[in-house]
Structure formats: C-alpha cells, structure tokens
Structure 1
Amino acid sequence: MPRQHKSLPRLFVDHPLSVDGQLKLDKAQSNYLVNVLRLKKGGEVILFNGQDGAFRASLVHDSKKAAELALHDRTSTQTLPSKIDYIFAPIKTARLDFMVQKATEMGVNALRPVQTQHTQMARINYDRMQANAIEAAEQCEILNVPEVHEATTLEKLIANWDETDPDRILIFADEETDVANAAEALQPYTDHQVAVLIGPEGGFSEAERTLLRAQKFCVPISLGPRILRADTAAIVALTLVQSNIGDLR
C-alpha cells in the first residue's frame, strides 16, 4: 500500500471524525502535539480513530493544555478489520512491548492474553499494551488498532470458544507436532476467521497440549526446527498465517 502524506505526523483519537469537523484534544495529546512535535498554528496532522478512516487536520488553537484541530479532507477510507486474533501467554514487559507492536504491524484484530501453567508474568499493564498498539498503528499507517482484551485462562478460552462462528479455528504453535509443513496444514482454512496462540517460554504443559489437540477447532503447526523465544515465535507464526491464508497471499 502506498504511504499517504508520509511527512505528516499521525495521531489516534477516540472521537468521531468527519470532513469539516472540529476536535479539541485532551491535555496529554495537546502536550504531545505542541511540546513534543512542536506543531505550530496551521500545522497539519493525520487523524484516525479506527472507525471513520483517516483525515487531514490543521491546528487552529495551539494551547499546550487544550489544542484544537480543524478537520479537512478524508485521506483514507476505513479498512476492514483483520480476520486474525492474537492470543498469547504474557511475557516480561520490554519483550511484551515489542510483541504487541509487531503483532499490530502484522495486522491482528485483537490482543488476548491467556494464563497457562507455565506463564511467568501474572500482572498485565493493559493501558501500556493499548498504548504500544496505538503507537505502532500511528507509525505504520494502520487504521485498525487491535482491541486489548482482559486475560483469561487457557481452560476458559477453550470452554468459551466462539460458538456463534463454528468455522473459527485456533492455530497454535506446537513444538511437538507431527505436522512439519505449516503451509500445508493451513491451506484448508483460507476463508476462516482464525486466532493464533503462542504459549509461554516454557511451552505448554502436557495436559494443555492434550486439551488443545482434543478440540476440533484447534490446528497445531510447527514453527520449524529451532526453539524460539515467545516474541520471535509471534512474528514467525503470524507471518506464516498471513502469507498462507491471510492478506500477504
């Protein structure tokens, strides 16, 4: 996709957007535009909210506490949401930041933490996760910011799998699977809604692996002959899914 207005800063806002509209920013975003980006009156920015597309806007009131923007033309129509959710066992903060950013760049629709028997991080900073997703979307001209969900356990995730979409599948990275060819394993699911599950650093327990393999909607795939860290495994798995049954085909 060609980049639009790549010289202009991009800002995610949680407000409705429309041509010729006006928008007053909160204190934090006003400070960011005026103090950090040093945007002057008349300076332009691209706004998006994950629903209405992207809009070119100019600064009409450059207060550091309550900046105001005037919206002009729509520069991009809203893209459709991805068919891929990303489910993961939480990891340490710095690497979790990286993983969230890369998953956003890879086009996931939702970020869903899941607690497993070997999960080492019990506390999750959801605001930080959302901020990292927004930052990645701003930098990469992504119009759909993935939604961050509350953590659940693997058992509850399986028990409450989406019954409204019986064709939705859960693709999970399993280092012990006999299915060596991930592309071949994924091909039957080109038209399905999918979720990608990456386990903790220590891998799934045998009981969890047995539980996953027992589900009709679960598809195990191999990520190759090497042992990967969780954040690396996320990139590899999402690349395999996007390139075989997603929007990188």
Structure 2
Amino acid sequence: MTFGNDILKGKVALLTGGGTGITGGVARAFAAHGARIAITSRKDESLIPQRQFIEENGGECFAIAADVRDYAAVEDAIAKTADHYGQIDIVVNGAAGNFLCSADQLSANGFGTVVDIDTKGTFNVCRASFVELKKSQGQILNISATLHYLATPMQIHVSAAKAGVDAITRNLSVEWGRHGIRVNGIAPGPIEDTEGIQRLLPPELKAKLIKKIPLQRLGRIADIENAALFLASDAASYINGVTLVVDGGQWLLGTRLG
C-alpha cells in the first residue's frame, strides 16, 4: 500500500524494541513518512545500525538504551526523548521475548521473564509516557499476537503475556480517551521475514502453516508497517481500543499444524 510520505510529518514516535524485527520495520516506515524517531532496546549495539539506516535515508533518529522492565530506565528514556525533540506523539510498544517450551518444562523464571518484558514492560512505557501523550493528545500502539485467541501449544508464556497486553490496550483506551489519547494494538500472525519465525519455525512445518492461512502465504513485516501507518495516521482518528489482527485470517482456523 502507498501512503503519502508526509502523513506523519511533525510527529515524534518512540518505539521500544525499535532496532530490529517488526518494530524496527515500523520505525523505518514511520521515518519514511515524516516522523522523527526515538528507539530503545536493552543494548546500544542493536540500535546503532537502525539509527544509521534512518539517518542515511534522510530521517532523524534518537537512540536510547533502556530495559522496559525497569520503570526508572523507562522514565529516563521518555524524559530524554521529550527533551531531545520537545514532544512525543506516538508510542509503540514492541519490546518482546519468545521461545518455544511446553508448559510442563517451562520454568517459573522463564514464564516470568516473558510476562515482565511483554506485559509489565508495556504498562511501564504507557504509564511513563502518559504526561507527554496527554500534552500532545497522542497515541499508543501495542504490538500483540493472536496466540491467546484459541490456544497455542508451546506458547503458554507468550499467550498469557499478550493477553495482558490486549487488556492494557482496552483499559487504557477507555481511561485515557478523555485526555485525547488513542490506544490501539496490532496482532501480527506468522511473519516470514522475522528472526522469530526463522528461528522458531522448522522448515518442514512451513508448508503446513501456509495451508492453515486462508490467504495462503505468510505475512511480511511490510504488512505490519502498513497497519501501523494507518493506525498512527489521522485517517484512524476515531479508532480507539482496537487490536487489529494482521494474519491473513490464520487464527480463525486454529493453531495446530498436525
């Protein structure tokens, strides 16, 4: 899909986990459509190539190392971004953790780590950005998943974490709508050009997975970029509290590959 290259002109977008993967793609798309970008990750080294790419392509990018599980670090990242750009209009919560593990083999620490990154991290960033978003009457986009809509074996930790993210999206859309803040989510299905799918999906299961998708293909990061651009634009100004599923209809047919 083609959007006007100025649809986010004048906006400042902060994206957690914005150095790589799906959120990295969204950061690049936002920059290409006029937004000034701030990206965070736990480690500086994952941010450097992204910042260089955005700047080499004519955009602005401010990179801050911050662990979303640490509320003080999140507050600091928000403050530095607001000081650097003078405003924050869009927050994208994309920091996440994932691995395959059956429930009977999953440690309490492994479960807790994913929930801390995905659910607690999402809340931390939303809460810390509230004052700036209230000033700008801005918006939040939470990157979720479809794993918890039915049941996904080997993914109880991520399913629980993303169910919490969806609850945060719905609750904040109601509580903060009166401040002019929109809160929405995006639930990607299987996205072919991500490290997660390449690492977690054995080649022999790829064909089976595609057969379970009504559109008969895996998604691309560009599909999520387009959804994010739409939700972040003025065209979606009356959309609030929605988690937009971008999965080709896959979740409707279930998650088992056998």
TM-score category of the 2 structures, normalised to the smaller one: 0.3 to 0.5
Higher share in strand: 1
Taking structure 2 as the reference length, the TM-score comes to: 0.36
TM-score (norm 1): 0.37
